[in-house]
């Protein structure tokens, strides 16, 4: 579920409540995430004060006083939400963190594809391969050339390569290619200069709009306050197979690229 705009929305909605708070309790109800939650996870968090929340691609980094980091990835169905102490827990509420204020932060994740780890920046190996963040550090036009040079894979697959551009997932790769007028299957290295320029513009616009609207709520995504996003109302192609293109009314096509559903308008995207 959560791609860059959703993770950024969660970060923004957590920040005012959690930054400055001290962790007073950590309850791990289910350790079996993508990588099992370490045995000393709770011990290392207890007593720590959160000084900031950063984001790198789809990762959230809770900065802890003293140099530690709580690293969180929401996977496909992960969710971080705030609630008053004493709120009944629900199925798949795997981790509950309480603070020195009347507030708890709950990690819920039905499919358990997410990740929670405590360490320092150097010890968090998963951060080593995270590429540049297209929301806070969008590639300049001349940098696109270097990103795609010699690459034969479909441009959509390249957009979703977290080692290059961290944060773009299936929804937003589809949407930005529609806005750029480029077919998802086009070989990345074969795109012309003006197409790359259009893609850069489309990427910035789609991400900005999506963050502005609080992300996309397809089924169960909510921000930290339980509020859904509304960018799904703006989806031009994602999950619209057979429906008319919003621009030319041609039926939207669905194909599979890299094992992921891919949607495009055969007329507007060349």
Q: Which residue in the list 58, 156, 179, 253 is annotated as catalytic?
A: 58
Among the residue ranges 10-18, 176-184, 193-201, 252-260, the one whose residues contact DNA (CB under 7 A)? 252-260
- Phi and psi (nearest 5°) for 18? -105, -30
Measured between alpha carbons, how far is 235 from 6 in angstroms, rounded to an integer? Answer: 15
The sign one gets for the Cα dihedral 107, 70, 225, 59 is: negative
Question: Helix or strand or coil: residue 262?
Answer: strand
Q: How far is the CB of 174 from DNA (least distance, A)?
A: 8
Is there binding between residue 171 and DNA (CB under 7 A)?
A: yes
Is there binding between residue 145 and DNA (CB under 7 A)?
A: no
Measured between alpha carbons, how far is 207 from 167 in angstroms, rounded to an integer? Answer: 10
Is there binding between residue 216 and DNA (CB under 7 A)?
A: yes
Comparing CB distances to DNA, the nearer of 11 and 58 is 58
Measured between alpha carbons, how far is 168 from 270 in angstroms, rounded to an integer? Answer: 21
Q: How far is the CB of 47 from DNA (least distance, A)?
A: 29
Is 3 an annotated catalytic residue?
yes
Q: Which member of 6, 8, 93, 175 binds DNA (CB under 7 A)?
A: 6
Question: Helix or strand or coil: residue 86?
Answer: coil
Q: Which residue in the list 34, 46, 260, 267 is annotated as catalytic?
A: 260
Is 2 an annotated catalytic residue?
yes
Is there binding between residue 3 and DNA (CB under 7 A)?
A: yes
Is 194 an annotated catalytic residue?
no
Residues paired with residue 105 on neighbouring β-strands, in sequence order: 82, 97
Measured between alpha carbons, how far is 4 from 198 in angstroms, rounded to an integer? Answer: 20
Is 11 an annotated catalytic residue?
no
Is there binding between residue 170 and DNA (CB under 7 A)?
A: yes
Among the residue ranges 60-68, 116-124, 139-147, 210-218, the one whose residues contact DNA (CB under 7 A)? 210-218
Is there binding between residue 57 and DNA (CB under 7 A)?
A: yes
Is there binding between residue 153 and DNA (CB under 7 A)?
A: yes
Is there binding between residue 108 and DNA (CB under 7 A)?
A: no
CA angle 163, 164, 165 (to 5 degrees): 105
Among the residue ranges 18-26, 39-47, 61-69, 255-263, the one whose residues contact DNA (CB under 7 A)? 255-263
- Residue with token string 């909605």: 13
Q: How many CA atoms lie within 13 A of 71 on its CB side?
A: 22
Is there binding between residue 184 and DNA (CB under 7 A)?
A: no
Q: Spell out the SS3 assignment of 91-156.
A: CCEEEEEEECEEEEEEEECCCCCCEEEEECCCCCHHHCCCCECCCCCCCCHHHHHHHHCCCCCEHH
Whether 227 contacts 251, CB under 8 Å:
no
Site residues for DNA per CB under 7 A: 1-3, 6, 32, 34, 57-58, 73, 75-77, 91-92, 110-113, 126, 129, 150-154, 157, 160, 162, 169-171, 215-221, 239, 258-261
Point out the residues that are catalytic.
2-3, 58, 260
């Amino acid at each position: 579920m959560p791609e860059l705009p959703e993770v950024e929305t969660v970060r923004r909605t957590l920040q005012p409540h959690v930054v400055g708070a001290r962790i007073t309790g950590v309850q791990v109800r289910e350790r079996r995430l993508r990588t099992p939650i370490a045995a000393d996870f709770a011990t290392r968090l207890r007593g720590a004060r959160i000084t900031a929340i950063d984001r790198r691609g789809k990762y959230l980094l809770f900065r802890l006083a003293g140099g530690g980091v709580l690293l969180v990835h929401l996977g496909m169905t992960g969710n971080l939400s705030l609630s008053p102490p004493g709120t009944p827990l629900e199925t798949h509420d795997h981790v509950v963190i309480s603070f020195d204020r009347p507030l708890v932060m709950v990690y819920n994740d039905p499919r358990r594809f997410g990740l929670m780890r405590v360490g320092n920046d150097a010890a968090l190996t998963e951060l080593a391969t995270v590429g540049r963040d297209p929301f806070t550090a969008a590639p300049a036009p001349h940098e696109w050339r270097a990103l795609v040079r010699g690459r034969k894979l479909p441009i959509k697959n390249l957009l979703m390569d977290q080692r290059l551009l961290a944060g773009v997932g299936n929804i937003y790769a589809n949407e930005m290619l529609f806005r750029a007028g480029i077919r998802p299957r086009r070989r990345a290295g074969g795109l012309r200069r003006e197409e790359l320029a259009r893609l850069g513009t489309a990427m910035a616009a789609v991400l900005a709009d999506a963050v502005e609207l609080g992300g996309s709520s397809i089924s169960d995504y909510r921000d930290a306050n339980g509020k859904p996003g509304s960018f799904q109302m703006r989806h031009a192609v994602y999950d619209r197979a057979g429906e008319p293109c919003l621009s030319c009314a041609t039926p939207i096509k669905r194909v599979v690229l890299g094992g992921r559903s891919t949607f495009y308008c055969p007329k507007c995207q060349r």
